[in-house]
Amino acid sequence: MARQGAAKPAKGSRPPKGSRPGKAKRGRRGGAFGRLVRAVLAAAIIVLFVGPVITVAIYRFVPPPLTVLMIERLFEGHGLDRRWVPLRQISPNLVRALIAAEDARFCEHHGFDVSAIQKAMAANDAGKKLRGGSTISQQTAKNVFLWPHRDWVRKGLEAWFTVLIEVGWGKERIMEVYLNTIEWGPGVYGAEAAAQANFHIHARDLTAAQADRLAAIVPKPLAWKAARPGPYVQRRSGRIERNAGVVRRQGLTDCVL
């Protein structure tokens, strides 16, 4: 009598389609890869979109904490002197001087001054001294949220944060944060600390001449001195004084003052 048992598959036949173990493993690997991609995309959305939006919303009402630059300077041994004051406690002279020196169209643009960028690119292409086209809004975005060293990643993020603060903060808040985060000397940040360190007065009491000198040293705050200006800073202060007069006469600070 023949032994009964499971019938052996005929020679050359294949197991049913859904029972092949290799395909099941590949399916599991494919599913795991898909989940990984979705997780990475979700993390990128949070980091690049949700996180910045929430942070900008918070800083609309709360003074931003230490910046990357402040932390770097601390490690370099420069110390930290920062005294946050509201915009109404900062002299209008300083607002006018900074707009005259850094961004004359601050009240007109929406974060980016296309004409200034084009002029900067033309000057750089011509081999002249490198110049920037960053607006006060862009400088604020960089100072508060990003790192000071230039690279394409930072420039891209700077543009995104600039859009967010222009939409979420408005000009007055941008100027207020800018005035409270500018580096104005070794370990000196913001208008109040700068006024105290250089002239031993409050930011609200700055004269036009003192404000012009503070605005003059913004590009190189570790090398130039507002309290004891050299010949170049004196000439630069004179130009800012003349431009600040134009700013005042033409109402170019109306969005802030």
Residue 3 CB neighbours (<10 A): 4
| Domain at 66-249, CATH homologous superfamily | Biosynthetic peptidoglycan transglycosylase-like (1.10.3810.10)
* Three-class SS state of 256: coil
Crossing angle, helix 171-181 and helix 92-102, to 10 degrees? 90
Can you give the residue ranges of every domain in the chain?
A: 31-62, 66-249
Alpha carbons 124 and 118: distance in angstroms, whole number: 10
Q: Is pTM, for the whole model, over 0.95?
A: no
Query: In the prediction, which pLDDT does 51 show?
Result: 86
Query: In the prediction, which pLDDT does 130 show?
Result: 47
Backbone torsions φ then ψ of 253, nearest 5 degrees: -115, 15
Query: In the prediction, which pLDDT does 50 show?
Result: 85
The strand pair at 183-185 and 188-189 is best described as antiparallel
- Residue 7 reports pLDDT greater than 80: no
- Span 243-248, average pLDDT: 96
What's 48's DSSP letter? I
**Most confident residue range from 91-95, 149-153, 227-231:** 91-95
Tell me the sheet residues that pair with 189.
82, 183
Percent of the chain with pLDDT over 70: 76
- The per-residue pLDDT for range 27-85, each reduced to its tens digit, is 566 677 667 667 666 666 666 778 899 999 999 999 999 999 999 999 999 999 999 99
Q: Residue 56 in contact with residue 161, Cβ under 8 Å? A: yes
Ranking 14-23, 180-189, 199-208 by mean pLDDT, the lowest is: 14-23
pLDDT bracket for residue 123 (50, 70, 90): low
- Residue 118 reports pLDDT greater than 90: no
- Span 17-27, average pLDDT: 56
- Span 110-137, average pLDDT: 70
